[in-house]
């Protein structure tokens, strides 16, 4: 049983996407980040960076005590290794998957997050920051588009944790002032991932109080 500490944000959706795809049993614990629940001691014991998502695996493969994991990329790799799903054991495909997972957590997510902040949440407009992060968002979508022109999925021919990590940020493209018509390979990939039953189930969770 996996306990998922979650809010319906792009990073939260990554883990619910994996869990729905894999069929692992899990319990969902909503963390009200607007109310500051991520700063409660019991949550910080699992996620010391006070960010969602985080998980606790009560049945780790070593048979030991429950283990808590924080940071979405680490969670996805842990769950992929636990289940043997969405992370190939073949050297080159595995390496490519981990490369693109790292690209998402190090570049695509943080830069798009800054785009969201300065476009929607900054207390006053900062034109330089808005333009800076919009340009970087466009550049990163270009990187992704070129990769998807060559492959069915981000790391190759198979759906992987690289796709699971990236999709929720692309799902917010309108908030980033991105027109997917300018990135046709990304748009094609996005529509295919969006149509997956597990994607639809994971996003339905966001509508549940």
pLDDT in tens, 125-151: 999 999 999 999 999 999 999 999 999
Looking at residue 43, its pLDDT comes to 97
Q: Quick one: CA torsion of 183, 136, 179, 163, rounded to 10 degrees?
A: 60
Looking at residue 207, its pLDDT comes to 75
**Token duo for residue 128:** 């330089």
**Token duo for residue 80:** 């992929």
Task: Inform me whether the pLDDT recorded for 208 exceeds 80.
Answer: no
Looking at residue 209, its pLDDT comes to 52
Looking at residue 140, its pLDDT comes to 98
Distance CA 209, CA 200 (A): 17
pLDDT digit string, tens, across residues 151-194: 999 999 999 999 999 999 999 999 999 999 999 999 999 999 99
Distance CA 40, CA 191 (A): 38
Looking at residue 100, its pLDDT comes to 98
Contact 53, 14 (CB under 8 A): yes
Specify the pTM.
Answer: 0.96
Looking at residue 195, its pLDDT comes to 98
Mean pLDDT score of the chain: 96
Distance CA 78, CA 75 (A): 5
Q: What's the DSSP call for residue 195?
A: T
Looking at residue 42, its pLDDT comes to 95
pLDDT digit string, tens, across residues 11-54: 999 999 999 999 999 999 999 999 999 999 999 999 999 999 99
- Look at residue 121 and give its three-state secondary structure: helix
pLDDT digit string, tens, across residues 56-103: 999 999 999 999 999 999 999 999 999 999 999 999 999 999 999 999
Task: Inform me whether the pLDDT recorded for 206 exceeds 90.
Answer: no
The candidate with the shortest Cα–Cα distance to 15, out of 76, 81, 61, is 76
């Amino acid at each position: 049983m996996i306990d998922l500490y979650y809010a319906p944000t792009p990073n939260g959706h990554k883990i619910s996407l994996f869990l729905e795809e894999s069929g692992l049993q899990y319990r969902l614990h909503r963390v009200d980040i607007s109310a500051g629940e991520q700063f409660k001691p019991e949550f910080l014991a699992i996620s010391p960076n006070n960010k969602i998502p985080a998980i606790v695996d009560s049945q780790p493969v070593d048979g030991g005590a429950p283990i808590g994991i924080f940071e979405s990329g680490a969670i996805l790799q842990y769950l992929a290794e636990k289940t043997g799903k969405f992370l190939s054991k073949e050297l080159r495909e595995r390496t490519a998957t981990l490369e693109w997972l790292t690209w998402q957590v190090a570049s695509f997510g943080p830069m798009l997050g800054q785009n969201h902040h300065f476009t929607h949440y900054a207390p006053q407009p900062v034109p330089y920051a808005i333009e800076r992060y919009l340009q970087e968002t466009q550049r990163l979508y270009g990187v992704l588009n070129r990769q998807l022109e060559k492959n069915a999925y981000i790391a190759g021919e198979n759906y992987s944790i690289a796709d699971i990590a990236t999709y929720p940020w692309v799902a917010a493209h309108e908030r980033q002032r991105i027109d997917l018509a300018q990135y046709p390979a990304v748009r094609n990939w996005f529509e295919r991932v969006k149509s997956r039953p597990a994607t639809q189930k994971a996003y339905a969770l966001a509508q549940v109080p």
